[in-house]
Structure 1
Amino acid sequence: MQSFRTEIENPVVEKDIIELADKIAAFNNLQIDEEKFRSLRLARGVYGQRQAGVQMIRIKLPYGKVKSNQLRRISEVSDEYSRGRLHITTRQDIQIHYVDLNRTPELWAELERDDVTLREACGNVVRNVTASETAGIDVDEPFDVSPYADALYKFFLRNPICQEMGRKFKVSFSSTDEDTGLSYLHDLGFIAKIENGVRGFKVMVAGGLGSQPRHAETLYEFLSSDKIIPVMEGVLRVFDRYGERKSRAKARMKFLLKDIGLEAFRDLIAQEQKAIEFKTVAIDVDSYVASTPVSVETPKVEIKDQAAFDLWKSTNLIPQKQAGFVAIGIKVLLGDFYTDKARLLADLVDTYAAGEVRLTLRQNIVIPFVKEELVPYFYQELEKLGFVEAGYNKAVDITACPGTDTCNLGIASSTGIAVELEKVIAAEYPQYLKNKDLIIKISGCMNACGQHNMANIGFQGMTVRTPDKLVAPALQVLLGGGNLGNGNGVFADKVVKVPSKRGPEALRRVLDDFEANANGNEFVNYYKEKGEKYFYNLLNDLQDVSNLTQDDFIDWGEEEKYVKEIGIGECAGVVIDLIATLFFESEEKIDSAKVAYNNKVYSGSIYYAYQSIVNSAKASLMAEDQKTNTHAGIIANFDTYFITSKKIELETSFSDLIYQIKNAAPTEEFAKKYIADANLFLEKVRTYRNDETSVLK
């Protein structure tokens, strides 16, 4: 690990990587338990894989922007530590697979040479901040959201208020009212607006997908841009304190809003305002470094197939607000591409565009700032890479998560059926090559990483059981979802469940009926007009499992008979239940509070002290088998069980002690006092615990 100390210039990053290396060593030496270690590695982008003994690494790429040097660096890392395949996710990250756990610190160090991080790519943290892939070039945008997404990402990275939440937290930015960032299904979604000459955002809160999708509510119709960071801090503080922690199935913020309502949530945010250090945070747009297109002569080009070129131009070129430029959309099958092509792509955009690519929410690639006269040359060069398939963001461009290929939670193949459905559309429905209206998405399980339940046509991996109890892979067919724009959307209905091998026939029936009976309506309106029962009757016979053939028991893309294998999911991190570990963490939080205090980061030091106090209380309650579902619940229960009963004596109630964080401004004086309070409280509860343990012995 010595090389990290000498080769990484940023001491904060260096500390992160050395800590990961130390924790891996401790885990290998059985010095920390698996659950505790899992939570730490997840927050460092190291994710368990379906295959034993290897890890998936999620590389965090804010708002999908990747510079050419970063793409080369990621390619080098993938070749050295993985298998040379890069997977684009629906959150604009890149994932690489089959990585040895012990090599992850050096992998991370290599990425950081070009400012690429793994930090908080997984776990119960603020995940990658996503944005419209056309941010900065969109012809309809009121302004470029990239500087705002960038500032928000940087402000909350490593921020103590969002390091140990009950569940993950997702944020998006949309450039226009078209809402291509999908604000309505995020914990916080921002849609760019201008009011009276002031830049700001419509703010959506508490949306989500998964097994129980929930439409986000409007928190603000308009919020000036200098308020987005303080508002998000207030939201995170409330979620951290009141969000569920014990039951992972109910721990997303959407459930908190469902339980208490929007107005009560607003009140809780208001109660946090005194504790928030910065009431406004003006974002310096001018300091944001945007990519600059190169000036280069147009090479000579010979187009071999003019018809194919014309078709590609009609589906894969994106208008750009900068005169004389267009963007190119690259359709990437399943979001998978390889490092040899990635390097050549990096060279191409370096030499002839603006030295960057954008990763999209639909697992594709966008090249911005291509001069119009260079389009034929780009087609020629991209054709050499196999990157000129027509149909970018059209019906033939299906989104799918990795599913049973690598994910622990995958139930049935999502990638295999995606390939098959694209073949069906290309061969039998060529008119959909240009159809932007139809969106098809597939997930391998109910967690909806493929966003299937917001699609016009969605498929979810499941199983069916025959009368003689044989198990076959299956697909839940969902219909009628869609993005309506400006923070509005519709979630798809679950219509039928069919054996996976009947997925193509289900698609054919829906498309045939759409062709015959839509009467010019878009799919969302067509489905709404016909109704769920209509489609149930259309597809119902495909549910019959009494007549399955041997082929039905072999999933798409597989050769062996299907076996249902579901591991333990890691998407949401874990709940740590070891009392001694919690006390130890309380000590660590106090140490972190002191470091932040010495660096004059008083707001951060106060929050570390708060985490120490609540951890200590949680450990005490768990030792007595009391509920610890939420921070607010821990605080109330500690008063009831320990203070009212006088088992532990404080100078005030526990609520008054810990809730000083809400009632005091984050000053140097209060930070010093609160750290001392945290230290004294830890001593008291640990002494009580030791005394009780001694009596039992």
Structure 2
Amino acid sequence: MAQGARTVMEEPTLELVLRRNPQERLKREKSPLVMLDELPALIATGYADIAEEDIVRLKWWGLYHDKPKVGTFMLRIKLPAGRITPQQLHAVGELSNEHGRGAGELTTRQTIQLHYLELASLPLVFARLRDVGLTTVGACGDAVRNVTGCPVAGLARDELFDVTELTAEITSFFYGNPDYSDLPRKHKITVAACAHRCNAPEINCISLVGALRDGAPGFAVLVGGGLSSVPRLARELGVWVRPDEALPVLRALLDAWKEDLRYRISRVKARMKFMVDDRGADGMRAEVERRLGYALPDFTLPALEREPSDHMGVEPQHEPGTSSVGAPVHLGLISGDQMIAAARLAGEGDVRVTRQQNLVLTGVSDGALDDVVSGLAEIGFPVDANRLRGSSIGCTGEPHCNFAVTETKSRLGRLIEHLEGRFGDDVAGLRLHLDGCPHACGQHWVGDIGFQGTTVRDAEGKRRQAYDVLLRGALGPQAAIGRPVFRRVPSEELDAAVEGLVAGWLGGRDGGESFRSFCDRHTDDELGVLIGREPARSRREEEEAA
């Protein structure tokens, strides 16, 4: 066992797994992959009489209950590395208008979600997506989720090398593969050779991070990242992987995890990050090499010396005379009409969805650049909007998600407008990440300022919406998991609290000091003075005070 790894429990039996974990029983009773064939029977049965087990199985096709549970669904469409052609985006926009009340949103895993889809419309929706080459299989459920990457892969002038073909190979192998659609739980992979590491390799289950070794392209491998209620930053395996070895290495890691029944007993512990906790990076490397049948070369990923890019604005591509144009999509919300309009603006290029829930139009010629920029502004996506809008993330939350306990996108929108009105462009690029529950779809653990929805009782004992405020989180050169510094800030007091923090940073920063560095340089008590609140105490501090 690797040094520093925890003691690993004895191997459990399948009988124990099936007794303890209802989801494992559900998958073995009937494969979720057959559910599309059963749609006609489900429609005939009627939504109210469908067994909840079958509703759960529909997750493997990207479907979730919308909130409230009255018969409509959210559908998540997978876009490897966020890439979608204009023809495909046009089709999704039409489906949104025809079947989803025109509602759509972009996600932090570079997918598109539609809402309000009724059961009877699903066969037509799936057929239309299939006709244009799009899939939802594994977008939810215990499968390989959308494989993310750099939104300008294959185009950026400064990328180390092009991973487009490798991403296609990986997605072709895993998407809908029965052998990898019965995992202990969801699994997240990212692949990129972006010079800025824009794709958040630190918080994925497995990350292939492009690097050059003696001039040759290849990858470092990070494992065990993830957020939710038990956040972890990924750990480096310390190996060098050639592009032709990438898929075998991914399979070896996934096989080791999915075959170990210890990670199927409890849904709470059914993520690869807990296996990495138990075995350590050295133990995971040893298992990969055992399965490959040979040792991988040692390699240490070079330190990142720049902040991750969001690829907003106009960036020249490697092909002379062409650029990509990144436009903030405020709160990640995009209507069917806006999808159709963006598809038309893309012309002969294509469209990419970013991790920050924004759009990038690629292959824009110099002659068309002004028209594309003005066209994006006309449909509600101005390229020159305050960059706070492009760098802030809100989870799906209210009104659609059954897990959210607070407002999400609407609350984040009001906070952004407040800060824009108070500070203007001085807050450009500040990263606000807001979630309505602990699941962390909005990645609140790694924002400059993170917010997790919760509740607080008022003087009369009534519950009100509130937020924990997290600080010192980041991706990139100073990657770290944030900590809840202020607990249960009532929603109506949130604007003033954040304004105090930001005003203190802008008025007291050392030169061009980042917000994160400013927070690192000050104690929790000093930050508390800025917002007029007592900071939360860690368990250790509480014990010491007692």
TM-score normalized with structure 2 length:
0.83
**SS of residue paired to 1:404:** coil
**Kept in 2: contact 1:167–1:251 (CA 8 A):** yes
Q: 1:471 — aligned with what? A: 463
Q: 1:49 — aligned with what? A: 66
Q: 1:404 — aligned with what? A: 398
**Kept in 1: contact 2:325–2:373 (CA 8 A):** no
**SS of residue paired to 1:212:** coil
Q: CA deviation at 1:457?
A: 0.9
The structure 2 residue matched to 1:248, chosen from 246, 264, 267, is 267
Structure 1 residues 421-460: aligned runs within 5 Å? 421-432=415-426, 435-436=428-429, 438-460=430-452
Q: Distance in 1 between the 2:212 and 2:390 partners?
A: 35
Q: 1:122 — aligned with what? A: 140
Q: CA deviation at 1:229?
A: 0.4
Q: 1:38-73, CA deviations, whole angstroms, 9 ceiling, x for partnerless residues?
A: 342111111122222211111111111110110111
Tell me, which stretches of 5 or more residues in structure 1 are unaligned?
1-14, 280-313, 545-697
- Relative to structure 1, the CA distance from residue 383 to residue 273 in structure 2 (aligned partners, 3 Å threshold; closer, same or farther) is closer
Q: 1:414 — aligned with what? A: 408
The structure 2 residue matched to 1:539, chosen from 501, 522, 531, is 531
- Relative to structure 1, the CA distance from residue 424 to residue 230 in structure 2 (aligned partners, 3 Å threshold; closer, same or farther) is same
The structure 2 residue matched to 1:160, chosen from 174, 178, 192, is 178
Q: 1:589-610, CA deviations, whole angstroms, 9 ceiling, x for partnerless residues?
A: xxxxxxxxxxxxxxxxxxxxxx
**SS of residue paired to 2:190:** strand
**SS of residue paired to 1:130:** coil
Letter in 1 for 2:107: T
1:530 aligns with 2:527: no
Q: 1:349 — aligned with what? A: 346
Letter in 1 for 2:424: P
Using the TM superposition, name which of 209-218 and 530-539 deviates more: 530-539
Q: CA deviation at 1:144?
A: 1.7
Q: CA deviation at 1:145?
A: 2.1
**Kept in 2: contact 1:395–1:440 (CA 8 A):** no
Q: Distance in 1 between the 2:218 and 2:438 partners?
A: 35
**Kept in 2: contact 1:493–1:532 (CA 8 A):** no
- Relative to structure 1, the CA distance from residue 108 to residue 172 in structure 2 (aligned partners, 3 Å threshold; closer, same or farther) is same
Structure 1 residues 19-58: aligned runs within 5 Å? 19-21=37-39, 24=42, 33-35=51-53, 37-52=54-69, 53-58=71-76
**Kept in 2: contact 1:506–1:542 (CA 8 A):** no
**Kept in 2: contact 1:172–1:188 (CA 8 A):** yes
- Relative to structure 1, the CA distance from residue 389 to residue 141 in structure 2 (aligned partners, 3 Å threshold; closer, same or farther) is closer
- Relative to structure 1, the CA distance from residue 329 to residue 398 in structure 2 (aligned partners, 3 Å threshold; closer, same or farther) is same
The structure 2 residue matched to 1:272, chosen from 288, 291, 302, is 291
Q: Distance in 2 between the 1:505 and 1:425 partners?
A: 10
Q: Distance in 2 between the 1:398 and 1:153 partners?
A: 28
**SS of residue paired to 2:237:** strand
**SS of residue paired to 2:159:** coil
Using the TM superposition, name which of 193-202 and 128-137 deviates more: 193-202
Q: CA deviation at 1:273?
A: 3.6
Q: CA deviation at 1:131?
A: 0.7
Q: 1:235 — aligned with what? A: 253
Letter in 2 for 1:499: P
Q: 1:493 — aligned with what? A: 483
- Relative to structure 1, the CA distance from residue 60 to residue 395 in structure 2 (aligned partners, 3 Å threshold; closer, same or farther) is closer
Q: Distance in 1 between the 2:64 and 2:47 partners?
A: 20
1:510 aligns with 2:509: no
- Relative to structure 1, the CA distance from residue 395 to residue 344 in structure 2 (aligned partners, 3 Å threshold; closer, same or farther) is closer
Tell me the C-alpha RMSD between the 2 structures.
2.6
Tell me, which stretches of 5 or more residues in structure 2 are unaligned?
1-32, 297-310, 537-546
Q: 1:370-413, CA deviations, whole angstroms, 9 ceiling, x for partnerless residues?
A: 12332222233223212215247546642101212100100111
TM-score normalized with structure 1 length:
0.66
**Kept in 2: contact 1:27–1:34 (CA 8 A):** no
Q: CA deviation at 1:76?
A: 1.8
**SS of residue paired to 1:115:** coil
Q: Distance in 1 between the 2:386 and 2:425 partners?
A: 14
Larger Rg: 1
Letter in 2 for 1:178: H
Q: Distance in 2 between the 1:491 and 1:379 partners?
A: 36
**Kept in 1: contact 2:223–2:237 (CA 8 A):** yes
Q: 1:300 — aligned with what? A: none
Q: 1:90-141, CA deviations, whole angstroms, 9 ceiling, x for partnerless residues?
A: 1111111111123322211111110011111101100000111121222321
Number of corresponding residues? 485
Q: CA deviation at 1:264?
A: 2.5
- Relative to structure 1, the CA distance from residue 27 to residue 187 in structure 2 (aligned partners, 3 Å threshold; closer, same or farther) is farther
**Kept in 2: contact 1:496–1:539 (CA 8 A):** no
**Kept in 2: contact 1:316–1:391 (CA 8 A):** no
Q: Distance in 2 between the 1:151 and 1:246 partners?
A: 32
- Relative to structure 1, the CA distance from residue 63 to residue 396 in structure 2 (aligned partners, 3 Å threshold; closer, same or farther) is closer
**SS of residue paired to 1:483:** coil
Q: Distance in 1 between the 2:124 and 2:176 partners?
A: 20
Q: CA deviation at 1:355?
A: 3.1
Letter in 2 for 1:330: A
Letter in 2 for 1:260: R
Q: 1:626 — aligned with what? A: none
Using the TM superposition, name which of 143-152 and 85-94 deviates more: 143-152
**SS of residue paired to 2:240:** strand
Letter in 2 for 1:530: H
Structure 1 residues 242-641: aligned runs within 5 Å? 242=260, 244-273=263-292, 316-350=313-347, 354-388=348-382, 390-391=384-385, 393-394=387-388, 397-432=391-426, 435-436=428-429, 438-485=430-477, 489-497=479-487, 498-520=489-511, 521-539=513-531, 541=533
**Kept in 1: contact 2:485–2:535 (CA 8 A):** no
Give identity over the alignment, percent: 29
**Kept in 1: contact 2:524–2:535 (CA 8 A):** no
